[in-house]
Chain A
Amino acid sequence: MRDLESPANSVTREAISIANLEYTWPGAEHPTLYLPKLQVDCGESVFLRGASGSGKSTLLSLLAGILAAPPGSVSILETDMASLSARRRDSFRANHIGIVFQQFNLIPFLTVGQNLRLAARFTGRSGQPVEQRSVELLESLQLSPSLLLRQADQLSVGQQQRVAIARAFINQPEIILADEPTSALDADAKDHFVQLLLSIRETTGCAVVFASHDNSLAGHFETVVALADINKVNASALVKDKMEAS
């Protein structure tokens, strides 16, 4: 990820490109976000540092296409998100973006296998290739394939977070968005988690945006960006809006 000062590498394909993104929550007086410019290349790993309430979730929602960004402000894989219908945005997300949350990554009453199949289903994939990829992903995440038949809420938190990585990668996306995925893990598990995530990224070559407030993990990433530095919205107005919006 590069902010205004660093010139973009013109050879590499752009995974994420933001230009003059301003987002105001419905009903709020002031915008939550104003990002003049931000770019992530395919295959790049980015550590996005930001405290809670800094607009991180809003930014990731805009990148994932759950919130509608103004036209021309957010391009994912060189597609202007605003040019897609809501329907197409959902299927675009299923096909190209994998998401890992802080917790509650899996549908608790489904098995691990069903969780992975469900994610694949939203892209129209099913059957043997999905099963095979599920097993491969679990193995590369150092999880036993026998977990496929276990109900998700019977797994430990660490296992659930690793299954979440498998779920994020099941559709071979170009972009992974992770929002505080390690905050429920202990210190050792955090590093291990980040290493696993980045090692799978290397084999698939997708871009990772890893949002966290925990600076100790920043060293694993190629690029480190502080949201507070690039978000040009007045900080005090931001906090006020956040309170009103929630």
Chain B
Amino acid sequence: MFEVALSSLWSRRGSVVLTLASLTISMAIVIGVEHVRAQAESSFVRTVSEVDLLVGARTSQVNLLLYSVFRIGNATNNIQWQSYQDIISRPGIAWSIPFSLGDSHRGYRVLGTNNDYFEYFRYGDSEPLRLTSGEAFNSPLHAVIGSEVANTLGYETGAEIIIAHGLGNTSFVNHDNLPFTVSGILAPTGTPVDRTIHVSLQGYEAIHLGFRDGVQVAALSPQADDPALAELQPTQITAILLGLETPMAVFALQRAINNYPAEPLTAILPAVALGELWQIIGTLENLLQVISILVLTASLLGLSTMLLSSLRERRRELALYRAIGARPSFIVWLIELEGLAMMAVAAVCGYLLVVLGFGLTQGWLSETYALVIEAWPSSPGIWLYMGGAMLAAILLSLIPALVAYSRSLGQSLLSQ
């Protein structure tokens, strides 16, 4: 019967190919949307872990989260070094990580921090950062790079990198007087860490020392071998990650920071901000999901219509099966099989289309939108959608199948 169904589809390949194309595209949309949703959600939730408070200059919590954790956009303002020292010296603070942001290297963000970052930063299920080679900073001009930076730019430990002032792939102002040496490479995390170049706060401060009005003044710039570099104290930083000894204290500290008298600051709970951000994106994703399901439904109705309208031209063919001894159920199964075969082919093609699409745009998505999307979708939701599409194909093919069935019952043998 499979042979018959496939030959029958092949004999009507014109309309079959069009229906297949429509099913394939809608399957690709459904799989693609679900894949992006699942990937975005998991990479979102995995980005930061165990941080009790995230502190930055006064801004909205979503914005603070975006520029500090996701490294999307820019800080509106900075935190004075004095405020930083004051906050971390408060009782109940277990650990802190300072962040200085604003520069880049060939499109990758540069993050100024200290060695506490490698000790306390957690992502995913409280996983610590791990170095695949080299070590953390032990000189102001050391850099530790994320796995993607290392892979894409082909850097190994010992490589020298020059940091550009500001963001973007091309910068007219480079900090080329003070090159950094790659001292370590981090293991892949699937978070923005992979796309970050970490340097010490001192080094970060040093490259900005000779700057006046956005122009490098050579005379003011320190030398790479100057021992005073290690003693450099930054004047300001961009954000602080805080870990508390007891989670109970978090709201009191948050209130204290939000009412900080010396300058306007914002302290947020990353989990709450992540939730809020996810809600904004989630609404859009739900909408996309609904639209993708509607598109698939339309294509499935197209499949049903195509099978139904084919019955007219197949009247004699179907009568012939009956004449040579086929039961009416044979005709039901034949048409069901045709619908199901088309859906199955479309599901596989749609899946491969998604793989191809994300395979080609992976790099661009991660650079532009900080979205790490695997090429091969594998979230359970996708198999659910595929199964659902199959089920829907079975149900919708049942319409033409039953029409053919009922016609074959009352038909005269030789109604040619």
Contact = CB atoms under 8 A, between A and B. Distances in A.
Interface string B386-416: 0000000000000000000000001111111
Contact of A107 (B317, B325, B328, B414): B317
A12 to B, nearest CB: 26
Nearest to B327: A90
* Interface class of chain B by DSSP: helix
B7 A109 contact: yes
Contacts of B411: 66
B292 to A, nearest CB: 34
A119 B325 contact: yes
B169 interface: no
Interface string A82-110: 00001100110111000101111111111
A85 B108 CA distance: 76
A99 B413 contact: yes
Given A119-B325, A122-B325, A101 B414 contact: yes
B8 interface: yes
B322 to A, nearest CB: 6
A234 interface: no
A109 B416 CA distance: 18
Contacts of B8: 109
Interface in B323-351: 323-328, 330
A60 B8 CA distance: 28
Contacts of A57: 412-415
Interface residues of A, number: 35
Contacts of B412: 57-58, 61, 66-67
A26 interface: yes
A102 B326 CA distance: 20
Contacts of B415: 57
Contacts of B330: 122
Contacts of B321: 107
A66 B320 contact: no
A238 interface: no
B226 interface: no
B218 interface: no
Nearest to B3: A114
Interface string A101-136: 111111111100010001100110000000000000
Interface string B230-272: 0000000000000000000000000000000000000000000
B369 interface: no
Contact of B325 (A58, A93, A109, A114): A93
A165 to B, nearest CB: 13
Contacts of B324: 93-94, 99, 118-119, 122, 167
Interface in A70-84: none
B316 interface: yes
A102 B325 CA distance: 18
B368 interface: no
Given A66-B322, A102-B416, A107 B327 contact: no
Interface string A45-66: 0000000000011101100101
A93 B322 CA distance: 9
B309 interface: no
Nearest to B317: A107
B416 A107 contact: no
A109 B383 CA distance: 34
Contacts of B11: 108-109
Given A107-B320, A114-B3, A118-B4, A26 B410 contact: yes
A44 interface: no
A57 B327 CA distance: 20
A47 to B, nearest CB: 17
Interface in B213-237: none
Kindly name the residue among B4, B8, B415 whose own CB sees the greatest number of chain A CB atoms within 10 A.
Answer: B4
A123 B4 contact: no
Contact of A90 (B7, B326, B414): B326
A90 B416 contact: no
Contacts of B364: none
Contact of B322 (A87, A90, A119): A90
A56 B322 CA distance: 18
Given A57-B414, A108-B317, A110-B4, A101 B323 contact: yes
B323 A122 contact: no
B7 A110 contact: yes
B324 to A, nearest CB: 5
B266 to A, nearest CB: 70
A174 interface: no
Contacts of A95: 325
A179 interface: yes
A21 B10 CA distance: 44
B213 to A, nearest CB: 79
Nearest to A92: B325
B326 A61 contact: no
26 contacts: A57-B412, A57-B413, A61-B412, A61-B414, A66-B413, A67-B413, A90-B325, A90-B326, A94-B324, A95-B325, A99-B323, A99-B324, A101-B320, A102-B414, A102-B416, A103-B416, A104-B316, A104-B416, A105-B320, A106-B320, A107-B320, A109-B10, A110-B4, A122-B326, A122-B330, A179-B414
**Closest CB pairs A-B (n = 8):** A94-B325, A109-B11, A122-B325, A61-B413, A57-B414, A66-B413, A90-B327, A119-B324
Given A99-B324, A106-B320, 18 more contacts: A57-B413, A60-B413, A61-B412, A64-B323, A66-B412, A86-B328, A90-B326, A90-B328, A93-B324, A102-B414, A109-B8, A110-B4, A114-B3, A118-B4, A119-B324, A119-B325, A122-B326, A122-B330
